[in-house]
Every structure is written in structure tokens, then in C-alpha cells.
Structure 1
């Protein structure tokens, strides 16, 4: 095959609306899919993209050029997950057909973000963007805004923060505590923004947890325990900070001392949570016969970081006259800090040494296995 006409449905409207799985290979399969998608949602631009690709295909065939059309479908979780699915489908197509070049059919900037993925695998001869011509009424500002708000991707981004803020403000007015509304709104919007920022990572983690649950892996149990320990550590730290805050206020103690109290009271529980999560990976790797050396160093480094944060926070508490205690003087604080640095270095070196030995043993075992096979 000389030329591939490549259409991309990055958010998998074909699967979500028309219940069609990608990739779609060939003119007839693409026409059938475009008709089903257009019937399910006449306003979806992917329908026009597919028909635009079919027109390009017909033009090339009329000129005697050996060409074929393929439509790849991603995932509704736009980002890493959808792009990985499209990349995997593209790899399968390139293995199946002997393709020299690609003509990329796009309906906008979102699909064109996939150009580097395609270019890394095959040469792109042309990019054709399909623009749908609208009537004057449809081009009005009112319709554009209304249509945008009906788009789930835009409405979720715009309306969810406003809805959360309104509900929180109404709740605090109901309990006659309007001052708390600002704190609640900032916290809710902040959490929502973090979720949007780490949406891909959260989606990948959630898929990994589901896969661990259904396949009976130990990581599901250890991750769940680690999450509970992490939550308990946060609650304990906040309770300790709240005790200082309610006694004299943040302006009396200062933000840095209160943050130091939080770190000092939670650092070991956070370390335990990290170790538990890492333990599940080690157990699963051992069960499946895979290498575990890459998970050894993080465990020792987590302990090293715990020692450093605990020693530093203990020292800061010892020299602070406001939050310090009689049983912890500055001299003892310095000693704890020095001891924690030395212990952290020793633990880190132990982790590197153990991990190196495991890696060498695994390589030697692999060599012996290859020799035995030969």
C-alpha cells in the first residue's frame, strides 16, 4: 500500500455514541461507521472527518494511487490513555500493511496534537483539516456559546467549580457561619483543579487498581492499606496543628512552626504508607518471576527521606521557644539531626548495595538460563 488515509477519533465518540470499536479499515467500514455516528449525533464533527477522508481516498484512487483509509479510536479519557490506545492501533496497522506515507485527516487542533505520535512512526505527506461550513444563524455568538456549554468536556470544566462553590456557600450560610464559606470554596476549587491537573495520572492509577483487583494482585491490598495509613497520618497531623492553632492562633506560632509540627507528627506514617505500597509491587514481581531490584532502592530511599525530615523537624522544634518542650533542648535537637543524616546515608547506601547485588544475580541467572537453552 502506497498511501494511508488516517482519520482519528481521539475521544472515542465512535465507541461512546455509535458503539463501534476501532480501528476501522476500508472504505465500506468507514462509511458504515460514519452513518451510524451521524445518526447517533448529527452534530459530531468526527462524522465529517471520516467522510472527508473517504473523499480524499476516492480522489487518490481515481489518480491510480494505491491507498486505503483507516480510522483510529482513542478513549473518552482524553490524554495519556486515549493517545496510548491510538498509538497501539497505529502500530498494528503499520505491521499489517506495508505503508509508505500517511495523509492525516483532522477536524481541529485537538486531533492534530497526535501528529508527533504519527510522525514518530511513519512519514506524513499531508494534513487536511475538515472545516464544516455553517449558516449565518448557526454562526451567531449565542449558538456557539450554547453549543459549547452542551459539550460535556467544556461544561464539566466550567460548571463543576461554580456548582461546588455555590453549594458550599449555601451550606455555610445555612449553618450561619459565612466565614467558613471562603475556606470551603478555596479548598473545593483547589481539589478540583488538582484533579484536573493530575487527571491522566489519576485515571491511569485507577485503571491499574481495577486491574490489580480483578487479577488478584497484592498491590491492590497494599495500596488500600497505604491509602488508609496516609489518610490517618494527615488527620493526626491536622489534629496536632489544630491544637496549637486553637490555643493561641496562627499569628502567635507562625506558619513555618505549625508546618514543622505537621511534618514531625506525620513523617513516619507517610513513610510506612510508601513502604506498604512498594511492598505490594515487590511481592507481585516475585510471584510473576519479574525483576524486583528497581523497587528495592525506593524503599530504602523512603526510609532515608523519613529520617532526614524527622531529624530536621525535630531540630526546628527544639530551637523554637514557642512550640518546643523542656524535654527537648537545642543540643539534643542538633544531635538528633546529625544522627538522622548519618543514618539516612547508611540506609541509602545499603539500598544501593542490595539492589546492585540483586541485579547482578538476576543477570547471572539469565545468562545461565540462556546457556542451558543453547
Structure 2
């Protein structure tokens, strides 16, 4: 209606038809809510990154002419990403990177042990992936649980070595700085106990399903008892050595 006088000055207007448009508050609020929801980097990454990874893995399997592996590969990659995000591995990596940078600038031994832990972790991942690939390439598909157990049994002691490297660097730095080591003594023992428990459980599962030999229930029990004993001994060393309460 604001431009109606201008139009009437040029041509004759016989009638005016008015159309009223009523906005839906619920639809409008939903639109802005979704827009704000997607604009959040964390939420956007949690939604679109797994979908993008699934598309990339499917495309790679088609290019490699192995579409039958697409579902397993997509589940594995997306599952790994969800675990990566759920356990806060990214934040841990950033923290280790900051610690390594600080160690480099301050001349700490932990810089070398951080690098060693990274390299050992890469080796562990490759070893586990090779074991899984051998299972996938076999005539009978073993199943996802068996593949996970193969990965753990093959790589767990490499990961334990990486953890021990981190703990060793931390203890040496505390000692050289004249600071109380305290409960840092317990870290290597807990790493070894965790590795023993994971290795024992995975070996027993593989043996019970026929994918491994010479490992019975008594070995699993010994692994559990040994891991608990090692953990308790680590707590004892940390508490008794420096007089801290348990």
C-alpha cells in the first residue's frame, strides 16, 4: 500500500486485493533453533563428520572393487570416531602435544619419551590392524567381536610399552626437578595390570572360539589375579615410598 499512490498516478486502479500472511511462530522458532544448533562447531562436527566418513569409506570400497566390505568398514571407521570423541582422545592429544612442547623448550627427558610413545603406539596400531586384516581375509569371516579380540591380543603389549615410556619420562622429570614423585609410581603398575587383564581376556575369548590354542580358564584367572596384585603393589609402592595416604 505504500507504493499505491505512485501506481495510481500512472495508471487507473479499480480495486485493491489484500492478502494477509500469518507467520507460524513454531515453525519460525524451529528454523532459528536448527540454524543455531548447526552453527555450533562441536555439534556440527558430531553430526556431519561421521556421515562424511561413512560416504568416504563407501566410495573408497567401491573404487577398490570391494563393496562387500563397505558396511564393515563404515561401522569400524564411524565407531572409531565415536570412541575418539567419546573418550576425549583429541583433548588428550592436545594435552600431550602441549606437554611435549614444554618439555622440548625446558630440556626435559619426557620429550623423548613422548616421541617414543607415539612411535610405539603407531606400531601397535599397525600390528593390530594386520591381525584384523588377516582375520578378514580368511575364508570364513570371524565376526566383529573376534576381530576386536585379535586387535587387542596382538597390540596390547605395544600400547603397554608406550604407556611405560610416558610414565618413565614423567618419573625421571620429577626426580630431576627434585619434586615428589608420589602417585606417579603407581602409573606403570596400573599400565602393566591393564595390559595383562586385556591380553588375558582377549586370549581366552580367542581360545574358547577356536582361534587360539593352549589358553584355558586357569590362565584367565591367573591374569585377573595377577593384574589385581600388580595394581595393589603399585598403590603400596606409591603410598609407602612417599608416605601418601592410600
Counterparts of 1:335 and 1:217, CA distance in 2: 44
Cα-to-partner distance string for 1:66-106 (whole Å, 9 max, x where unaligned): xxxxxxxxxxxxxxxxxxxxxxxxxxxxxxxxxxxxxxxxx
Q: Identify the residue that residue 219 of structure 1 maps to in structure 2.
A: 110
Given the alignment of the two structures, is residue 245 of structure 1 paired with residue 136 of structure 2, yes or no?
A: yes
**Within 5 Å, which residues of 2 pair with 1:172-191?**
172-191=61-80
Counterparts of 1:163 and 1:237, CA distance in 2: 25
- Tell me by how many angstroms 1:295 deviates: 1.0
Contact 1:222 1:276 in 2 (8 A): yes
**Within 5 Å, which residues of 2 pair with 1:42-191?**
153=41, 160-191=49-80
Given the alignment of the two structures, is residue 355 of structure 1 paired with residue 238 of structure 2, yes or no?
A: yes
Given the alignment of the two structures, is residue 293 of structure 1 paired with residue 182 of structure 2, yes or no?
A: yes
Contact 1:148 1:155 in 2 (8 A): no
The runs of 5 or more residues in structure 2 that have no matched partner are 1-22
**Within 5 Å, which residues of 2 pair with 1:286-365?**
286-320=175-209, 322-325=210-213, 328=214, 333-360=216-243
- Tell me by how many angstroms 1:315 deviates: 3.9
The alignment covers a number of residue pairs equal to: 217
Contact 1:314 1:336 in 2 (8 A): no
Q: 1:167 to 1:264 in 2, by over 3 A?
A: closer
Bigger proportion of residues as helix: 2
Counterparts of 1:312 and 1:158, CA distance in 2: 34
CA RMSD of aligned residues (A): 3.9
Counterparts of 2:201 and 2:75, CA distance in 1: 30
- Tell me by how many angstroms 1:200 deviates: 4.1
TM-score by length of 1: 0.46
Contact 2:183 2:239 in 1 (8 A): no
- Tell me by how many angstroms 1:279 deviates: 1.0
The runs of 5 or more residues in structure 1 that have no matched partner are 1-135, 364-374
TM-score by length of 2: 0.67
Q: 1:169 to 1:316 in 2, by over 3 A?
A: closer
Is the partner of 2:154 in helix, strand or coil?
Answer: helix
Contact 2:110 2:166 in 1 (8 A): yes
Bigger proportion of residues as strand: 1
Q: Identify the residue that residue 13 of structure 2 maps to in structure 1.
A: none
